[in-house]
Chains A and B, each alone.
Chain A
Amino acid sequence: MTILRRLALLPLLVLLVATVTFAVVQAAPGTYADTIDNPRLTPAARTHLKALYGLDQGARGQYFHWLGALAQGDLGRSFLFKQPVADVIATALLPTILLAGTALAMDVILGVLLALISARRPGGWIDRILTILSLGVYGLPSFWLAGLAILLFSLTLGWLPASHMASVGADRWAAGARWLDLVRHLILPASILGIVGAASTARYLRASLLDVRRSHHILAARARGITESRILWVHTLRPALGPLVTLIGLSLPVLVGGSVVIETIFSWPGMGRIMWQAAVARDIPVVMGCTLVGAVAVILGSLVADLLYAWADPRVRPQ
C-alpha cells in the first residue's frame, strides 16, 4: 500500500520539481539566442531566433506551452541539438547507464571488500591505512583524480585511452575489437567514479559492521560456538548492509543523471554532459527534460532504497 501511495504521489512531485526548475531556468539571465558565439548572428538575427523558439512569449506563456506539450507526452525540441528532446535524452542515457552502472558495481564490490578487511581488526594497521586512504580519496575532487589518472595511465604509460567511447577509426574494426575498445575506454572514467564511491561505501559499511558486531545476537551466536567467518558473513553482514542499500538506491539518480565532471573530462556523451551543455546554452527544453528524468529517478530511487532496506533488515519490513 505504501508503495502504491508513493507511486501515486510521483506525478505531483515531478510537476512540483519541474515548475521550480522552470522558474529557476527562467530567472537565469540571457536566452539561447544570446549564448551562441557566432559573429554572423546580428541583433536582428538573434531577435528572429527568439521568436522562432518562442522565447519572446514571457515566462508564463513558455511554461504553459511546455506543460501543454508535456501533457501530450511531448518533451519539445532542443534548441541546441536540433532534435526532439526525447531523442537527445535517449541517445545520452545509454552511455551514462553504462558508465555509472560499471562504476556502481565497482563501488559496491570494492567498498564491501574494503569494509570487510577493515572491520576484521578495527584499529589494526591495515584498518588505519585503509581509513587514511579512503578518507583521502573521498576528500579529493574527482576532476583532480581524473587528471592525475589521465596523466599517469594515458599520457605517461600509454595503457588506456584518455577520452571518448571509441578510438579514431574504430568504426572500421570487427565487432570483437570494437567491444574491447569500448571496455578500454570505460576503465578510466568508471574507475574514478567507482573508487571515489567505494571510499565512502567502505566507511559507511565498516561503521555499520562494527555496530552490528557489538549487538547481542552476535554475542549469542559466538556463545553457541558458531565460527567467526559464519558470524561475519551470515550474522553480521546482512543486517549491516542496511545503510549500503540505501546508498545504492540513492545512486539511481546518478545512474541516469550522469556525472557532469567525469563525462566532460573524458568526453563521454552522457546525460551529465548534455545537461551541462544545455544549461550553459539556455536550452530550456533539454534542461527540463533532464530534470524530469532526474526527478523520477530520485523518487523511484528512494522507493527502491526503502524496499531494499526492508529486505536487508526485517525489523523495518512494512506490515
Chain B
Amino acid sequence: MRITTGIKAAFCFILCLALIVSSGCTPPTEDLSDTLVIGVLADIQSWNPYLTETKFSEDLLALVYPSLAVEMSDYHDHPPTFAPALAKSWDLGSDGLGLTFHLRQDLVWNDGQPVTADDVVFTWKAQTSEEVGWYGAYTKDFIDSVEKIDDFTVSFRFSQVYAYRLMDANEGLIIPSHLWGKIPFSDWHSTDWLPHVVGAGPFVPVGHVPQQDIVLGANPSYRLGAPATIDRVVWRIVPDQLSLMTQLLAGEFDFVNSLAPEEAQRVEADPDLQVVDIPHRGYTHICWNTTRPELADPRVRRALGMAINRQTIIDTVYRGYARPSAGPILSTMWAFDDSLEPLPYDPRQASLLLNSAGWNDTDGDGTLEKDGRPLTLELLTNAENHMRQDICMLATRDLRAIGVQATPKTVEWGTFLSRLRDGDFDGAVNRWVEPTQIDLEDVWHTTPEALESSNYGRYSNPEVDRLIEEVADVRDIELQKELYGQIQHLIVADQPYTFLVEGRKLRAISTRVQGSIQNDATPYFNLEAWKLP
C-alpha cells in the first residue's frame, strides 16, 4: 500500500533528522578551567552606572569602574570607615565644608588614558544632571561644587556640615570623561553603552548577549591591586529561581548569590558546593496600622507580638538560618543596644494584656470583643515571597489561638505597596533591608500628611521624633549610641512593629573556588582574588 510507504518514508526522514542531530550532540569539548560561571536571575540594565537602578547592575559595574574610596564592612564597631582606592588620601577642610581628595597618579583606563581629577569632576556633573536623572542624585544634595585643583587633586565643597560627607562624596562610580564627555547628557538614554566602556577596575567587559550572558575578562592594566587571577567570569542569566537551582545542583555554576533556606539545605548536601552563611542586613516584621482603633493601643500591639512564636518561624520557615529580632536597629550594627531582648513568646501573658486593654470573650464564641465588636485583623503580605506567606500563616494561627480573628491575605507586589502607602491594611508582613548608615527618620519619624515616607503604620511618638532630630546633629559616637539606645527603647516599648526575625544571607559557592571573601557589601567583594585550580 502506498499510504504505508508514504508514512514509512516520513518516519525514515524524521529518524534520519534525529540521527543527524544526535550525532552532533556530542558537545564541543570546551575547557572551562579558566572560566568562573555565576548564575543570576536578571540581566544588568545598562553599562552606564548612572542609568541603572538594580542592585545587581551596581554590583557588577563596580568591578569595571573605580571609586574614590571603598566602604569597609566594619559597621559592627562604629560607623563604617573607608579604605583608599582611586583616592590615596583625603582631608576635611578646617571649616568642615571642604573635602579634598588626593588621587593616585598611576591609574589608567584600559584604553591607556590616565584616570584624573577631570574624571571625578565629570562624574559629579553626570550624577547631578537632570537629563541623566540618576536616582542617587539625592546623595549629592549638599555638595555645592566639585573642583579640579590639579590633575590629581580634587576638592568638594559642601553646603552644610553633617556626618556622612565622605560617604556622600564617595557615592557612585567614576566614569571616563575623555570618552563619555563627548556624548551629550541628552543622548545618554538612547546610547548603546557597551562599545563605549573602558574600565579601571579589575575586570573589563568581553561580551554581553542580552538576557543570556555577561562575560567579563581580567583587566591587564588594573593597578589598584594585583590583576585578577581568573581570566573570564561569565554571568549566566536564568530568569527562574527553580531553573537556577536545578542548574546549580547540576554543577553548571560556581556561584549563586541568593538561596532560600530550603535551597541552602540541598546545597549543603552537595559535595561540590558550599553554603556561604552571613548575617543579612534586613529584618522581617509585622507593621501594625496604628490608625486602626483596635491597634492604636500599644498594649494590644505588644500582646499580638507576644502571641506569635518566633522560634517556630525560625525553625520552619528559615530552617534555622535566622535569629529573633529585637528592635529597629539591626543587632549587627554598632548602634544596637545590647540590653534589648526580643519580645518573649507568652500567649498567656498576651491574653492578660488584651483583657486589660478591654478585649474579652464575653459571649464565649472564642473571639475577643470590645464594645460588642470582635477583634478581627487581616495580615497582608505579597504573593511573590512564599516565606512571608508562610510567616503570615503561622502568625495567623498563633493569633487565633488567643482569640484574635486573624486572616492571612496575599496580594501581588504592586498592590501590596500601594495598599501600604495608602494605609489600607491592618498588619503587614514585610522586610526592611538597612543601609550601613543608620537612618531612622524615614520609617519612625511622624510623617506630615502630604509627604511620602516609609512610615506606613503612621506611627507617631513626639519623643522619638525629637531624639531622631537631635541625633542627626551629634558628632560624638558614644553620645550617638546613647541617643540611639533611647530611641530603640521607646520604639520597642510602643511596639508599632512586631519585630520578627533577622534572616541570614545565603549563597552557594563551588568548592573549586579558593580565596573568596564573603560579606554583605557586594557578593563579588574580592572577585579579582578568587582562584580556580
Residues of chain A having any CB pair with chain B under 8 Å: 28-31, 34-49, 52, 77, 80-84, 91-92, 109, 113, 116-117, 120, 150, 154-155, 159-160, 162-173, 177, 180-181, 183-184, 187, 227-230, 232-233, 264-267, 269, 273-274, 277, 282
Contacts and interface: CB of A to CB of B under 8 A. Distances in A.
B51 interface: yes
Given A82-B45, A273-B239, A177 B133 contact: no
Contacts of B232: 169
B414 A229 contact: no
Contacts of B419: 29
A29 B416 CA distance: 8
A48 B55 contact: no
Interface in B206-229: 207, 209-213, 215
Contacts, number: 179
A117 B250 CA distance: 40
Interface stretch (B240-248, B325-333, B344-352): B240-248
A184 B210 contact: no
Contacts of A117: 7
Nearest to A171: B207
B37 A36 contact: no
Contacts of B417: 29-30, 34
Interface string B158-193: 000000000000000000000000000000011010
Give the most central of B21, B53, B55, B433: most A CB within 10 Å.
Answer: B53
Interface string B18-49: 00011011011010100101000010011000
Contacts of A81: 45, 210
Interface stretch (B134-142, B362-370, B371-379): B134-142
Contacts of B30: 167-170, 172-173
B234 interface: yes
A184 B454 contact: no
20 contacts: A29-B414, A29-B418, A35-B414, A39-B435, A40-B58, A43-B454, A46-B452, A49-B53, A83-B192, A109-B10, A164-B236, A165-B212, A168-B236, A184-B21, A184-B24, A184-B27, A230-B2, A267-B240, A267-B243, A269-B210
Nearest to B27: A167
B114 to A, nearest CB: 29
A39 B55 contact: yes
A267 B37 CA distance: 16
B240 A229 contact: no
B458 interface: no
Contacts of A34: 413-414, 417-418
B138 A80 contact: no
A91 B212 CA distance: 12
Interface residues of B, number: 70
A163 B243 contact: yes
B281 interface: yes
B55 A116 contact: no
Given A180-B24, A227-B2, A163 B238 contact: yes
Contacts of B454: 43
Given A30-B418, A120-B3, A187-B21, A42 B138 contact: yes
A44 B10 CA distance: 65
> Chain B interface secondary structure, helix, strand, loop or mixed?
mixed
B6 interface: yes
Give the most central of A52, A166, A266, A267: most B CB within 10 Å.
Answer: A267
The 10 A-B residue pairs with the shortest CB-CB distance, nearest first, are: A30-B414, A229-B2, A269-B211, A39-B433, A29-B418, A52-B133, A82-B46, A45-B135, A29-B415, A229-B3
A97 to B, nearest CB: 16
B213 A168 contact: yes
Contacts of B192: 83
Given A30-B414, A30-B418, 20 more contacts: A29-B415, A29-B419, A30-B417, A39-B281, A42-B138, A43-B453, A45-B136, A81-B45, A81-B210, A82-B46, A113-B11, A165-B212, A168-B35, A169-B32, A169-B35, A181-B27, A228-B1, A265-B243, A269-B212, A282-B414
B218 to A, nearest CB: 15
Nearest to A49: B135
A35 B45 contact: no
A179 to B, nearest CB: 9
B516 interface: no
A41 B135 contact: yes
B233 to A, nearest CB: 11
A227 B232 CA distance: 66
Contacts of B22: 159
Contacts of B237: 267
Contacts of A277: 42, 239
Given A229-B2, A264-B239, A164 B212 contact: yes
B24 A84 contact: no
Contacts of B414: 28-31, 34-35, 282
A226 B37 CA distance: 64
B25 A159 contact: yes
B6 A168 contact: no
B54 interface: yes
Interface in B238-263: 238-240, 243, 246-247, 250, 252
Give the most central of B45, B281, B414: most A CB within 10 Å.
Answer: B414
Contacts of A180: 24, 28
Given A233-B6, A267-B243, A273 B211 contact: yes
Nearest to B5: A229
A166 B213 CA distance: 9
B246 A150 contact: yes
Contact of B190 (A39, A77, A154): A77
B446 interface: no
Nearest to B43: A81
Contacts of B434: 39
A183 B252 CA distance: 20
B3 A168 contact: no
B311 interface: no
